[in-house]
Amino acid sequence: MEYTDLDFKIPVESNDYEECSLFVTYAISEIIGQAIKNGKNKIIINTNLKRGLPMENINKIAGPIIEAWAFEAFYDVLENDTNEFQLINVEAQEKLSRADILLQFKRQRKISELGITAEVDVKATAEDIISSGKSPNITSFARIRCAYIRHY
């Protein structure tokens, strides 16, 4: 198949996209920030390994654990009666999905009654590994092509 053979979906940005984006990024930042501030960012892992875990591959262990922690942080807000962020749904996504967590917020929008849906891609970094978090986050084209190419 050649590039010219592809039938592309042309995304249309809603008129209130910037406002919705600012709302969602603020809410996500505040939810995670509050969890950290309240000391709910401690994950205790007990093993019987005498020499600890191998740090060169720790990301393979840490990634899924951090995803689970982030899911719980969002879910705690969802279950909170004073849910100041108007979070109405939190879903963990399947492995190799475009996102790790799907969030939905109740929000009156100018263009519709619909709320806002946000896909969160969780990343794990370590403060004591100099190169951690410094590489670009490159998502596989195979994972996202369904959002941009029509398949018949």
CA torsion 10→11→15→18, rounded to 10°?
A: -140
Local confidence band at 23 (pLDDT 50, 70, 90 cut-offs):
very high
In a domain, 119, yes or no: yes
pLDDT in tens, 28-77: 999 999 999 999 998 998 899 999 888 777 778 888 999 999 999 999 99
Q: Please give the pLDDT value at position 126.
A: 67
Neighbours of 152 (CB within 10 A): 3
Nearest to 77 by CA among 94, 59, 89: 89
Number of domains in the chain: 1
CA distance 106 to 86: 5
List the domain range (segments joined by +) for residue 141.
14-41+57-147
pLDDT band at 132 (very low <50, low <70, confident <90, very high): low
Q: Is residue 61 one of the residues assigned to a domain?
A: yes
% pLDDT > 90, the chain: 41
Of 89, 48, 41, 46, whose CA–CA distance to 66 is shortest?
41
User: Rounded to an integer, what distance in angstroms lies between the CA atom of residue 36 and that of residue 33?
Assistant: 5
Question: Is residue 24 one of the residues assigned to a domain?
Answer: yes
First to last CA, the chain: 14
Question: Of the candidates 25, 37, 30, which has an alpha carbon nearest to the alpha carbon of residue 120?
Answer: 25
Torsion of the alpha carbons at 17, 20, 21 and 22, rounded to the nearest 10: 130
In a domain, 3, yes or no: no
- Which pLDDT band, with edges at 50, 70 and 90, does 103 fall under? very high
Residue 27's pLDDT is: 96
Inside any domain, residue 1: no
Q: Residue 117: inside a domain, yes or no? A: yes
Determine, yes or no, domain membership for 130. yes
Q: For residue 139, what pLDDT is reported?
A: 61
pTM of this structure = 0.79
List C-alpha distances in Å: 87 to 26, 41, 142: 13, 20, 30
For residue 107, being part of any structural domain is answered with yes
pLDDT of residue 80: 94
Instruction: Assign 137 a pLDDT band (cuts: 50, 70, 90).
Output: low
Average pLDDT over residues 110-132: 76
